[in-house]
Structure 1
Amino acid sequence: MPDRDFLSWPFLEPRHREWAAEVEAWAAAHAERLSEGETDEACRNLARSMGEAGLLRMAAPESGRLDVRALCIARETLARYSGLADFAFAMQGLGTGSITLFGSDELKARYLPAARAGTALAAFALSEPEAGSDVAALATTALRDGDGWIIDGSKTWISNGGIAATYLVFARTGEAPGAKGLTAFLVPADTPGLTIAERIEVSAPHPLATLRFEGMRVPDSHRLGAPGDGFKVAMATLDVFRATVGAAALGFARHALDLTVQRASDRQLFGGPLFDQQMTQAAIAESAVDVETSALLVYRAAWLKDAGTPRVSREASMAKLHATEAAQRVADRCVQMYGGHGVVHDHPAEKLYREVRALRVYEGASEVQRIIIARAERDIARAERARSEGAV
C-alpha cells in the first residue's frame, strides 16, 4: 500500500481526505476487473461504473467549479490501480471541462448530466496532423453560415475518438492571425459530416482516432465563448487538467515504487535479499525522492488553481514535466529490478513502463513544458527588473 501521508499536507482539506477514501474504495473493488477485455467496452464499463458510484461528479460538476485537487487525487489513485480507469475518468473531465467553464446554461443542462452519469463519453479535439503542440498552426476551419457554422478539416490523436458522444472541437474562424483566430464548438458524434477516419493503436491500449469534418454544420448555440476565444478556452481547460496529468504519473510512480520495494525484499541474490545490495537501496531512494517531489509540485499547482490564481501555466507545466519524467525513471528502475521478468509483455512492471511513456507526450510534450517554464521565468525576471528600476 503506498504512503498516504501526503493527504495530511496543508494543500488539502478534510473533504479531500474523504474523497480520497471514496475513490480508493471504488478502485480497489472495481478498477482492475473492469479494465479487462476489449478496450472500447472496458472504457464504457469503467465510465458507467464510476458514474453509478458518483465519482464523475468531480469530473463534470453541477456547480460549474472544477476542484483541481480532487481531480488530482482521483487520477493519482486510479492510476495506481489501472491506467484505463484513470483514462476513463480523465477524459470525462477534459472532454467536458470547457463546457463546465464556458458553456451556456443550455449546453450544461443538455450534455453534462449524461457525462456525469458515465453514460455518454466525452472527447477534447485539439490536435491535428500538422498542429499538435503549436496550437496557432491549426488548419481546421469554421465558416459562418446563417445561424451556424460549417466546419472542414481533421483532428488526430483524439482520446475517446470513435466511442465519444461529444467532441469539443477547435477551429479557425479568422478573427485574428494565429492563436487569436480560433473558436471552440461542442459537436455531437452523430453530426452529419463527422466521420472517424481511422482508429490508432498505441503501445498502452487506449481508444484513439483521427476525425474528419466535411461540410459539418454546427449551430451557433454550440459555440463556447465568443468567436476568436478558442485559444483562451483551450488554455483555461488545459490549465486545470495539465496538473492532473502529473497526478496520474504520480500514481503510476507510486505503484512502480511499491513493486520495486516488494521485488527487492522478496528476491534472493548472492545469499541474501536483493534489498541488501547498496545499488538496490540507491535505486529505491532515488525513486522515493522522485515520487515525493512530484507530489509536492502536483498538489502545489492544484492548490494554487483552487485558491483562485488566474493562471497557473508555469506551475502546472512544472508539475507535469517533473512528474511524468520522474515516473518514467521510477518505472525504468522497476523494470530493471525485475530483470527478464520486467520486459515480459503484460508483466506489471512492463505495463507500467508503457503506460507512463505516453504521459510525456500528450497535453503538451515535455519539450513544450520546458518552453512554457522558460518563458515564464523570463517574464518574471523582466517584471522584477522593471519593478526594481521603477523603485530607484
Structure 2
Amino acid sequence: MTAFSLDPAQTAWCEELRALAEQELRPLAEKGEPGHVNRPLIAALGELGLLDRLFSSGALDLCLLRESLARGCTEAETALALQGLGTYPLVQAGTPAHRVRWLPEVRAGRAVAAFALSEPGAGSDAAALALAAERAPDGWRLTGEKRWISNAPEADFYTVFARTTPGAGARGVTAFLVPADRPGLTGTALDMLSPHPIGALAFDGVPVTPDDVLGEPDRGFGVAMNTLNLFRPSVGAFAVGMARAALDATLAHTAQRTAFGGPLKELQAVSHQVAEMATRTEAARLLVYAAAAAYDAGEPGVPGRAAMAKLYATEAAQYVVDAAVQLHGARALRRGHLLEHLYREVRAPRIYEGASEVQRTIVAKELYAAATETATGTARPTPTVNQEPAV
C-alpha cells in the first residue's frame, strides 16, 4: 500500500483552510436560507479558488480540503463537495463542449451542479434505476422521478442516470447532462433533518440528445461508480472534519468546566472517553488518507479501500459527536450550539453515497476477491479511474 505523510506545506494549508472557513465562510453560511442553495457562499468558494482546486488536484488533496473546511464550516464543505459530485462526471466522461460550457461556470461559483442518481425505489441498489430513457427520433425522452437529490430543485444542471436498456441492470444505464431549464423537468424541495437543499425531480418526457450523453450509452453506471470511488473517501474526510471539530470543543470544555471539585478532565470517566474519541478520529483519518493515496497511485482494490474509509470514518464521527454532546450536557442541545449543529449534520453521511451496510458488502466482496486472486495466482487489473486529465 502506498506510504504517505503530510508535509509541512500540506499541514499549513489545512490550517489556513480551517481559519478561512471559520472567519470568512461561516458568516456567509449563517446568512443562508435553510433548505436552499447558498449562492453567495458558492460564489465565495469560487472567488477563493477552492472550486478550482477541487478539479485540479488528486484524491488526497480533495480529502484534506473537505476535512479542513468541515472543521471550520460544514456548510462551506457541503457546498464545495456537491459542486464536485455533480460535476466530476463531466470531468471524466464529458465532451469538450460540455467542459467548455459548464466547467468555467462551476469553477467560478456561478453555476450549481447536482448528481441525480437516487430514486424512490433505487437508493442503495443503484443498479435498479427505473427512470426511463425512451427512444425518440432525436435521442431520448426521460420519464420518471429522482429523489434525495442534493441541490435540487435549484441546480443549474443535473448529471442524470437513466435506464436506456430495460432489464439490463447496471449495463443498461446511461449518464446524461440535463440543464435545469429543459421542458418537462420540475422539482420540489424536501424538508430534511439538517437543512440542506435536497429535493425530488420529476421528468415528464424531458428531451435529451446524443450530445447530452456523458461517456457512452448504456455505460453510465461506470460513470457513477467511478465518481463515487473518488468521493467516498472524501465523505470520510468530511466526517473526520466534524469529529475533529467536536473533539476540539470537548477538549476546551472539559479543561474549563468544573464538577466535583475540579475540572472535568480530571475525572477518569471523562478522560477515558476523550481518549477514545481521539483514537477513533485518528484511525478514521489514517483510513481516509490511505484510501485517497491508493486512488492517486492507481493501486488495485480502490473500491474496497474507499468503502472501508467511508464506513469507518462516518461511523466514528457519529460516535465522537454523540460523545461530545454527552460530555457537554444540556448546553449542547441548545439550538445554535456547535454540537447541536454537528449532531444533525453527522447523521446523513452514514446513508448517502452508499449506506454503511452497502460499504460493508463492498469491503467483503473485495476481501474475497483478493483471497481468490492470491489462491489462483491471478492479479486484478490496475484501475484507471484516477488517470483522467486534470481540467
Deviation readout 1:252-272 (Å, 9 max, x if unpaired) = 000000111111101100110
1:187 to 169, 178, 187: 178
Kindly state the Cα deviation for residue 149 of structure 1 after the two structures are TM-superposed.
Answer: 1.5
RMSD of aligned residue pairs (Cα, Å): 1.7
Answering whether residue 297 of structure 2 is matched by residue 298 of structure 1, we say no
Code of the aligned partner of 1:104: T
Match of 1:146 in 2: 137
Aligned length: 375
SS in 1 for 2:120: coil
Match of 1:278 in 2: 268
Note if contact 1:126-1:155 (Cα within 8 Å) is conserved in structure 2. Answer: yes
Answering whether residue 355 of structure 2 is matched by residue 365 of structure 1, we say yes
Match of 1:246 in 2: 236
Match of 1:213 in 2: 203
Name which structure has the greater RCO, CA cutoff 8 Å, separation 6+: 2
What is the alpha-carbon distance in structure 2 between the residues aligned to residue 309 and residue 147 of structure 1? 41
Kindly state the Cα deviation for residue 23 of structure 1 after the two structures are TM-superposed.
Answer: 2.7
Match of 1:261 in 2: 251
C-alpha change, 1:111 and 1:40, in structure 2 (3 Å) is farther
What is the alpha-carbon distance in structure 1 between the residues aligned to residue 19 and residue 265 of structure 2? 31
Matches within 5 A, 1:63-212: 66-174=57-165, 177-196=168-187, 198-212=188-202
Code of the aligned partner of 2:233: A
Matches within 5 A, 1:346-357: 346-357=336-347
What is the alpha-carbon distance in structure 1 between the residues aligned to residue 337 and residue 12 of structure 2? 32
Kindly state the Cα deviation for residue 309 of structure 1 after the two structures are TM-superposed.
Answer: 2.7
Code of the aligned partner of 2:303: S
What is the alpha-carbon distance in structure 2 between the residues aligned to residue 80 and residue 13 of structure 1? 20
Code of the aligned partner of 2:313: A
Kindly state the Cα deviation for residue 45 of structure 1 after the two structures are TM-superposed.
Answer: 1.4
Matches within 5 A, 1:34-53: 34-37=28-31, 38-39=33-34, 43-53=38-48
Answering whether residue 26 of structure 2 is matched by residue 32 of structure 1, we say yes
What is the alpha-carbon distance in structure 2 between the residues aligned to residue 164 and residue 290 of structure 1? 36
Deviation readout 1:303-339 (Å, 9 max, x if unpaired) = 1111123651100111000000000110011000111
What is the alpha-carbon distance in structure 2 between the residues aligned to residue 247 and residue 127 of structure 1? 22
Note if contact 1:60-1:112 (Cα within 8 Å) is conserved in structure 2. Answer: no
C-alpha change, 1:304 and 1:12, in structure 2 (3 Å) is farther
Code of the aligned partner of 1:376: E
SS in 2 for 1:244: helix
TM-score (norm 1): 0.92
Percent identity between the two aligned chains: 47
Kindly state the Cα deviation for residue 162 of structure 1 after the two structures are TM-superposed.
Answer: 1.5
Kindly state the Cα deviation for residue 204 of structure 1 after the two structures are TM-superposed.
Answer: 1.3
SS in 1 for 2:30: coil
Kindly state the Cα deviation for residue 171 of structure 1 after the two structures are TM-superposed.
Answer: 0.2
Note if contact 1:79-1:251 (Cα within 8 Å) is conserved in structure 2. Answer: yes
Code of the aligned partner of 2:250: T
What is the alpha-carbon distance in structure 2 between the residues aligned to residue 26 and residue 17 of structure 1? 14
SS in 2 for 1:237: helix
Unpaired stretches in structure 1, ≥5 consecutive residues: 1-8
Kindly state the Cα deviation for residue 143 of structure 1 after the two structures are TM-superposed.
Answer: 1.9
Note if contact 1:150-1:216 (Cα within 8 Å) is conserved in structure 2. Answer: yes
Deviation readout 1:135-173 (Å, 9 max, x if unpaired) = 121100112223322111110000000211010000001
What is the alpha-carbon distance in structure 2 between the residues aligned to residue 41 and residue 211 of structure 1? 15
Deviation readout 1:284-308 (Å, 9 max, x if unpaired) = 1001101110110001111111112
What is the alpha-carbon distance in structure 2 between the residues aligned to residue 220 and residue 176 of structure 1? 22
